[in-house]
Structure 1
Amino acid sequence: MARRKRSKKKGNDAVNFLLLLFLLGAGGMTGWNGCSETDNPDHTGNTENTGKPGANHYPDLETVSIPKGLTSQIKEYTGFTVSFNKDNGTPNYVAWELLGKEVANDVQRDDNFWTDPDIDGCPSTKDYTRSGYDRGHMCPAADQKWSAQAMYDCFVMANMCPQEHALNAGAWATLENKERQWAQRDSAIMIIAGPLYDKNDTKRIGDAGVRVPGAFFKVLMAPYLDQPRGIAFVYPNMTSPGNMQDYAMSIDELEEILGYDFFPTLPDNIEKQVESTYSFKEWNNSK
């Protein structure tokens, strides 16, 4: 993909600036190598799903291009797609579409964590026992209340990362709640989430040696608006004080950190529009 002009809006406050310094100054991501991509045919963001006649139709929005050589096993579950990295014991990313009409459904939370034998290196829930870390969902259970199978699937350990409880129950949960509000407002949003590792992230837990990330990222896009928009967030794997906008950045800026290419199937002009700039104010607007 042709290189895009980077946004001039880098680090909108001291917290975000320090976070970027940490991620970039620590030597960048190590072990990011390997390319694999896919899409989920059940949730591809088509106009039938959104219920919006004449809405933009962009196929394969769960596709992510990742650096060559990165260990990746792709599997499509009900409602989301995982790129799993057996070297880390965590996903490279998890991608899904959240429809506004799904948010109000009432399938009960499953809480049955399970190991997928089809995923090479998929850890056990016991690998997290007494580790001091939560089994942090990348695709959250509350996004899967539309289907009993989707609820069951989202408790697969391939969807988990070691997450500090203070983050999992704090700022990360707050962002997840906001995403559901935004999906209802915008008809649907695409979400991609995963861990961020740098060379200093050497701690591992459990017999499987699940690698503990230093931070987490999330990418959001509202593709069916007249003017599609996107935003990214990065949270350190710890208590995250301040406001949500302190951790926001453009998708381009996150791509620079990760080496990933999000939404490569979008037309170039739409991709540039969605990824080069962001406005937290627009995203957080209730209308």
Structure 2
Amino acid sequence: MIAESGMRGLRFLVALLVVAWLGACGGGDEEAGEDAAPTPTVYPSPNGPASTDWVIRQDYGGYQLTYDCTTRTALQYSYTLGFDDGTVARPTSFKLDPTLPEGCGQQTTANSYAAAIYPGYDRGHLVSSNHMDYDADYILRANYMTNIVPQVATFNRNVWLDAENVAECYRDIAPVQVYGGVVYSDPSNDWFLASHGIRTPEHFWKAILTTDPATGAPKAIAWYIPNVEGLTGLDPYLVSIDELERLVGTSLVGITASPAVKAMKPATSWPLPAGCNYN
């Protein structure tokens, strides 16, 4: 009989192969995120290998989410950005996601977290709406609550915005691949379970892959950032993709790259290029 530890490893390996296959088939036409109900796919759960969580990969056209229907939260997102020529205005309202398959849970309301019992949290975007401003449907979908989680307000408006701006600026130099997600590990700060049906993430992570236009060589940067008050910069939270995979799990990070790229860890966060328009 196979030991339980062996079974866990086998289940993880199967899930990893499924994730890799889906990543290779990722993307989709404009209608996929709005109308299609993707076939549910079992992924490793953040609650452990024995969890029965229902986790799917959902395509929104401009971006993709790995989404946990059981705990009502996205776990990972990914998308690719080219040169910024978008001018579509960000929607002023948030809405529940009409595209989830039947029976897949989501937050119970699109209301502000500020209206709940615990102050100081924003409806924080995983996929930046500013990155989707090249398409009216994509930027609308970025305001679905499946792309929103509780973010400490000062975190959302400072260091998380700084990380978003790195992708926003470097896309004008060469195409960028953006990956990111959330980590839940502490139930003591789950202020919004009663009001919204979602836990509060303890960490956010983001990775950006691109190429050096002068040499064509690949380059990568990643951060693993606590969702707390008082952060003043990105540099203390720099990690390599290798480190990120150890912290989050290789399958959930979902990045296919060479060992050399996964080992990259810049000494400082990439400076924003002069003249970058990140509005």
Instruction: Give the TM-score of the pair, scaled to structure 2.
Output: 0.72
Q: Which of the numbers 103, 108, 112 marks the counterpart of 2:89?
A: 108
Match of 2:38 in 1: none
Please report how far the alpha carbon of residue 85 of structure 1 lies from its aligned counterpart in structure 2 after TM superposition: 1.3
Q: Which moved more, 1:149-158 or 1:108-117?
A: 108-117
Distance 1:285 1:209, change over 3 A: closer
Mark the runs of 5 or more structure 1 residues left unpaired by the alignment. Answer: 1-31, 44-64
How far, CA to CA, are the matches of 2:267 and 2:85 in structure 1?
24
% of aligned pairs identical?
A: 21
Query: Displacement of 1:112 after TM fit?
Result: 2.7
How has the CA–CA distance of structure 1 residues 105 and 118 changed in structure 2, closer, same or farther, with 3 Å as cutoff? closer
* Residue of structure 2 equivalent to 1:97: 80
Displacement of 1:117 in angstroms is: 3.5
Structure 2 stretches lacking a partner, 5+ long: 1-11, 31-42, 275-279
Say whether residues 1:147 and 2:135 are aligned partners.
yes
- In structure 1, give the amino acid aligned to 2:88: V
The two structures have a TM-score, normalised by structure 1, of 0.70
- Matched with 1:274 is 261
Distance in structure 1 (CA, Å) of the matches to 2:154 and 2:181: 17
Q: Using the alignment, how far apart are the partners of 2:154 and 2:27 within structure 1? A: 32
Say whether residues 1:196 and 2:180 are aligned partners: no
SS in 1 for 2:161: helix
Alpha-carbon RMSD: 2.9
Higher relative contact order (CA 8 A, sep 6+): 1
Residues 95, 180 of structure 1: alpha-carbon distance in 2 compared, 3 angstrom cutoff: same
What is the distance in 2 between the residues matched to 1:254 and 1:195? 12
The answer to whether the 8 Å contact 2:238/2:269 transfers is: no
Matches within 5 A, 1:1-287: 35=15, 37=19, 38=22, 39-41=26-28, 66=44, 71-99=54-82, 101=83, 103-119=84-100, 120-123=104-107, 124-126=109-111, 128=113, 130-131=115-116, 132=119, 133-185=121-173, 187-200=174-187, 203-205=190-192, 206-222=194-210, 226-261=216-251, 262-263=253-254, 266=256, 270-281=257-268, 283-284=270-271, 286=273
Whole-Å separation in 2 of the counterparts to 1:127 and 1:260: 33
- Deviations 1:82-105 (CA, angstroms, capped at 9, x unpaired): 111133322011111121x2x242
Q: How far 1:194 sits from its partner (Å)?
A: 1.5
Q: Deviations over 1:250-281 (max 9, x none)?
A: 011011011134455x4xxx521211122155
Whole-Å Cα distance in 2 between the matches of residues 199 and 280 of structure 1? 30
